[in-house]
Structure 1
Amino acid sequence: MKTAAKAAATNAFSARSGSNRLKDKIFSLVVWGVSLVIVAIILGLLALILERGATHLSWDFITGLPSEIEEGGGIGPSLFNSFYMMILSLIVSIPFGMAAGIYLAEFAPDNKFIAFVRICVEGLASVPSLIFGLFGIALFVEMMGLGLTIIGGAVSLAFLNLPVLTRVTEEAIRAVSQEIKQASFSLGATHLQTIRKALIPSAISGIVTGISLVAGRAFGESAVIILTAGVTTSGVMWDFNLLSPGETLAVHLWYVQSEAIVPDAQLISQKAAAVLLIVVLAINFLFRIPLWVRERKLR
């Protein structure tokens, strides 16, 4: 009887194992199928945008001045403003965002007030960009009387990206193994030295990923720019004046598609969309090159 019971238990276990393996295979097939469909949709969208716009790009279009009436206008000032405002916003948001994230991860006490602060930061990270644009209007346009300017748009973009950078930095620092931190302390390093020499280098991959995301967001943002920097440029290709109007490429794309009266508005919007997509992809790629080099050196 013991032999029969043992055989029955073995058969039941084998049946359950076979059923679990079948379920695992079905689940894997479903996940792979959904992933392939999503990737195919994304690649199809990218191919459609690039096929319509990239094939018509020229250097004159990229560096030329926009036209209000005649066809053949370029995107030079708008493209420059996009890079200029993105860099200015990163100069403001990266130090403050990283500092806030490090504080929340390493120095902030574990109490209800800090928990409330984290909830607020998470909430701000998901707030629509239009809200930050309205805040920029109240601060820079009305209170400070600057009008629609590059500096107003850049700082508003920095405010938009600060919550995201704060949360990304905090989570990246917290994800570092505690053994690394304790090993640094055991070697006599101070808390500040541990953060600089151990925690940040170990968390740099996640931090750089967050920076690349907010950089791409800043380059392609339109709502904040429309409200704080305007829908026009100074008409000069290399205008570094912070008080000049700051239409960016994303805003120019929206304006041409919805408001412009130039005969080739559709073609301009397609080419501008292609340039915008190429630059955003390039930004993400360039930010990751140092990480790839660093990983190869560590191997």
Structure 2
Amino acid sequence: MTAKRADKIATIILDVIAGVIVLILASLLGYILVRGLPEVSWHFLTSPSKAFSSGGGIGIQLFNSFYLLLLSMLISLPLAMGAGIYLAEYSKPSFATDFVRTAIEILSSLPSVVVGLFGFLVFVLQFQIGFSILSGALTLTVFNLPLLTRNIEDALRQVDFAQREAGLALGLSRWETVLRIVIPEALPGIISGVVLSAGRVFGEAAALIYTAGQSAPALNFADWNPASISSPLSPMRPAETLAVHIWKINSEGIQPDASAVSAGASAVLILAVLLFNFAARFLGNKLHKKITAG
């Protein structure tokens, strides 16, 4: 067999494998959307759920999901940025640095249910925060921080070292070089890492069952005082998210229209993750062009 023919056969095999993977993913997304989209309406998106009767929606669960995502990212992103910058720009090869990177690899591969049990034991019981959005956000920070840190470190390391040398040659300090040259150059990769981690947070269920709770009490959207337990902004209230709601109604089966609600909620969850990814990538490219004057 000639090298040209072998290369052609290998290319065909790889194309077939890629096509099969794309077909499986497209079939999965198509099945969820075809079943769920007919159930989605404005009433479904804004009305509260009903436990023992049909006609309920996912309004509170959808709000809880976005609020928990925002709170967890506000906690984890600054920590991950600091850790990623230190590991990529300031750390020197040593046993301690290797140990930290190994710990990050191990923590990023932990099952979410294990992280959820850790959050339950530490934040819910030990710190006595209880089943709340704050407990869920802190647990998701533990779950999300290793992967986010590694993604940011990799994005910073992919910046050509000549960029750093140019900044130092112009008289910039090391920190100014990182802030004004390295981070803007690495911004698309950083945004991609944030998108991936945000998608994990938004669709997470197992870690939140033990920390944020499985109930969605009625909220007073006229009360925006975070200290009020009925306020949507209260971090101390229990909060059933969209992913937990899908798991709950399928496991309990007490809703007459559980199948329809589950299908509609699954379609909304898929669309939210897709739209969030597209919007974040678009924003990352815009920010990169603005900062670098490209």
**Cα RMSD over matched residues?**
1.5
Letter in 2 for 1:241: S
**Aligned residue for 2:261?**
268
What's the counterpart of residue 85 of structure 1? 68
Q: Does 1:69 align with 2:52?
A: yes
1:21 aligns with 2:4: yes
Deviations 1:146-177 (A, max 9, x none): 21001110111111110011111111111110
Contact 1:77–1:237 (CA<8 Å) still a contact in 2? no
Q: How does 1:1-40 map to 2 (within 5 A)?
A: 19-40=2-23
**Which of 98-107 and 231-240 deviates more?**
231-240
Percent identity for Structure 1 against Structure 2: 41
- SS for the counterpart of 1:232 is coil
Question: Which residue type is aligned with residue 22 of structure 1?
Answer: R
How far apart in 1 are the matches of 2:5 and 2:37?
46
Q: Distance in 1 between matches of 2:56 and 2:38?
A: 17
- 1:124 paired with 2:117, answer no
Matches within 5 A, 1:92-111: 92-111=75-94
Partners of 1:178 and 1:126 in 2: CA distance? 30
Which residue pairs with 2:273 in the alignment? 280
Q: Residue 230 of structure 1 corresponds to which residue in structure 2?
A: 213
- Structure 2: where are the runs of 5+ without partners? 222-231
Which stretch has the larger CA shift, 104-113 or 289-298?
Answer: 289-298
Does the CA-based 8 Å contact 2:187-2:288 persist in structure 1? no
Q: How does 1:226-265 map to 2 (within 5 A)?
A: 226-236=209-219, 238=221, 239-265=232-258
Cα distance in structure 2, aligned partners of 1:110 and 1:187: 27
2:286 and 2:150 map into 1 onto residues whose CA distance is 26
Specify the alignment match of 2:225 in structure 1. Answer: none
Residue 141 of structure 1, aligned match among 117, 124, 137: 124
| TM-score of the aligned structures, taking structure 2 as reference length | 0.92
Tell me which amino acid in the other structure corresponds to 1:112: F
Query: What are the ranges of 5 or more consecutive residues in structure 1 without an aligned counterpart?
Result: 1-17
Paired amino acid for 1:73:
G
SS at match of 2:2: helix
What amino acid is the match of 2:239? G
2:194 aligned partner: 211
Which stretch shows the higher mean deviation, 54-63 or 228-237? Answer: 228-237
TM-score (norm: length of structure 1): 0.91
CA distance in 2, matches of 1:62, 1:271: 9
Are the counterparts in 1 of residues 54 and 257 from structure 2 also a CA contact under 8 Å? yes
Kept in 2, the 8 Å contact 1:156–1:228? The answer is yes
**How far, CA to CA, are the matches of 1:246 and 1:141 in structure 2?**
14
Shift of 1:98: 1.1
How far off its partner does 1:291 sit? 3.1
The answer to whether residue 114 in structure 2 is matched with residue 114 in structure 1 is no
Amino acid at match of 1:169: I
- Residue 237 of structure 1 and its aligned partner are, at CA, apart by 6.4
